[in-house]
Amino acid sequence: MKQKHLLSLKDYSRADIEDILELARKVKSRPGDYRKALEGKTLAMIFQKPSTRTRVSFEVGMYQLGGHALFLGADAIQLNRGETVPDTARVLSRFVDGIMARVFAHQDILDLARHATVPVINGLSDLLHPCQVLADLFTLFERRGGLEGLKIAYVGDGNNVCHELMFAAVKLGMAMSVASPPGYEPNQLIVKSATRDAQKSNRSGPEVTSDPKEAVKGADVVYTDVWTSMGQEAEAPARAKAFQGFMVDQALMARAEPDAVFMHCLPAHRGEEVAAEVIDGPRSVVLDEAENRLHVQKALMVLMMSPPG
């Protein structure tokens, strides 16, 4: 793989993404073939925020590849006592073969990558969540046998998951529409950047509306995420008010394509961004998305951390 780091799928070509998905397919179907792929290698995992899926999938993934993962909570290392991100990156690079980090400020991921001499993987920042979206793409690929021409409708907060989905969708020839309440739309710079990427291949960029019904028209995928992301807890009451009418329920799903699937990165709040009948219903693929974090990240780590040749 040409890229040293995974900061965002924005930096990857369609072929790069397809290479990861193809290796993920092999890793998932024949896990035993990769049991020693990262033997003797170590991954440092920095977590400034909580995690279930990201932590467990990376830790289990490294173990299954013959390597080892270290969980480094921000309070357990010197970061929260003022050691700088550049020093943390330089020091960890002397010990480990890769760094995965979940951070508040996206700048921290950029700084880690700038100063580390080993690959850095973004395990979620306030702006982007590439590992999640790789697993989502793989899940869709498994279901549909291809991604080109599919339409994703994202209903809810224009957040890190929404941003990464926009970058990935335009790279892979998928249409995307986003419905968010006023004030909670995706970042304009990211919409513009994804639109420029789309125009390079004569496609239109993501559509942004405030009408969920409009967004899900013709959609093959209806995706949502929490209304209040990690770090925004103080805004939760205002957000709950602003997002009224944005719950993905059966009535909204009925306006999408008849075989449309429901996706959510999890964790979810039933009765807020999604009705229980949808997330626990037959069109929901949320557990496949969660499981596929493991297979996709194993493929990613093999591509990034195994010696060339």
Measured CA to CA in angstroms, residue 152 lies from 22, 133, 161, 210, 223 at distances of 21, 12, 13, 16, 7
Q: Which stretch binds ligand NVA (CB under 6 A): 67-75, 97-105, 224-232, 272-280?
A: 224-232
Could you tell me the two tokens for 66? 């013959």
Binder of residue 52, out of ligand NVA, ligand CP, none (CB less than 5 to 8 A by kind)? ligand CP
Half-sphere exposure of 118 (CA within 13 A, CB side): 24
Residue 160 touches which of ligand CP, ligand NVA, none (CB < 5 to 8 A by kind)? ligand NVA
Distance CA 304, CA 300 (A): 6
**Binding to ligand NVA by residue 297, rule CB under 6 A?**
no
Residues in the chain: 309
- 57-62 LR contacts (CB < 8 Å, sep 24+): 57/293, 57/294, 57/297, 58/100, 58/123, 58/297, 60/294, 61/294, 61/297, 61/298, 61/301, 62/38, 62/301
Is 225 a residue that touches ligand NVA (CB under 6 A)? yes
Question: Is residue 230 within the footprint of ligand NVA (CB under 6 A)?
Answer: yes
Contact 153, 128 (CB under 8 A): no
Residue 48 CB, nearest distance to ligand NVA (Å)?
Answer: 11
Q: Return the residues of window 234-293 that contact ligand NVA according to CB under 6 A.
A: 265
CA distance 105 to 227: 19
Which CB sits closer to ligand CP, 97 or 225?
A: 225
Which member of 229, 284, 292, 297 binds ligand NVA (CB under 6 A)?
229
Q: CB–CB of 159/225 below 8 Å?
A: yes
From ligand CP, ligand NVA, none, which one binds at residue 201 (CB under 5 to 8 Å depending on kind)?
none
Query: Interface residues for ligand NVA in 110-169 (CB under 6 A)?
Result: 124, 159-161
Based on the shown chain and the rule CB under 6 A, indicate whether residue 54 belongs to the binding site for ligand CP. Answer: yes
In the complex, least distance from residue 218 CB atom to ligand NVA, rounded to whole angstroms: 25
Residues between 236 and 265 with contacts to ligand CP, criterion CB under 6 A: 265
Q: How far is CA 50 from the centre of its chain?
A: 15
What track of x and - describes contact with ligand CP for positions 262 through 281 (by CB under 6 A)?
Answer: ---xx---------------
Interface positions, 111-130, toward ligand CP (CB under 6 A): 124
Answer for the pair 164, 144: CB distance below 8 angstroms, yes or no. no
Q: Which residues bind ligand CP (CB under 6 A)?
A: 51-54, 124, 132, 265-266
